Amino acid sequence: MTDGQRPYFDALYAHSDDPYALRDRWYEARKRAVLLAALPRQHYAKAYEPGCGAGELTHALAARCGQLLASDFSDRAVQITQERTRELTNVRVEQHALPGDWPRDAGPFDLIVLSEVGYFLQRADMQRVAECCKASLAADGTLVACDWRPGFEQRSLPTDEVHGILGALGLARLVLHEEDDFVLHAWARDGRSVAQREGIR
């Protein structure tokens, strides 16, 4: 994120602890369910979720992860997510501005989730984030990106460009879910399907 975007996020969280209505909208609950269902593994030892916002996805991901590091650019979002996950001993929440604060020393991660974050970045920063994802992803790791498709004023990159940058990393694509509202990709170093991993075929 850029410092120029800080007033936007400060204003968002000054007016509400849940400015995107993540807790109340069926759209948001359904999107989280789609993302969780797209994960090819039932459990991940160590995960990273930058851009955690108000922490609803963080709370849901925690049930699938041994350790989950969540972060956000906004200090208020960090506080909200810390409160949302305070009873979860496997969750740590920190303030990170991407790409500079990417937690290189905390990896490797076997799951990285970029949900509604890439389109706020300038292209060069998104490319650096993609490189960080590849460098931090474990040998059996999964990378997920889920993003809103329509345009809006604060957008820096089109969603298709964000996913194109991540898709060019050379990972195997396991999942593509497209709707008018959002698109979700899951890539992995291990290109086997869930059925193949379980010996069904």
3-state secondary structure of 96: coil
Partners of 91 in beta bridges: 68
| DSSP 8-class letter at 170 | -
Could you give the residue ranges of the DSSP H alpha helices within the chain? 6-15, 26-38, 56-62, 75-84, 123-136, 159-167, 194-197
Rounded to an integer, the average pLDDT of 107-115 is 97
For 185, phi and psi rounded to 5 degrees?
Answer: -120, 145
In terms of pTM, does the model score above 0.75?
A: yes
E strand or H helix at 184: strand 182-188
pLDDT tens for residues 148-194?
Answer: 999 998 999 999 999 999 999 999 999 999 999 999 999 999 999 99
Report phi then psi at 90, rounded to 5.
-95, 5
Percent of the chain at pLDDT > 90 equals 88
Query: Considering only CA atoms, which of 97, 101, 129, 103 is closest in space to residue 114?
Result: 129
Kindly report, residue by residue over 19-58, the tens digit of the pLDDT.
888 999 999 999 999 999 999 999 999 999 999 999 999 9
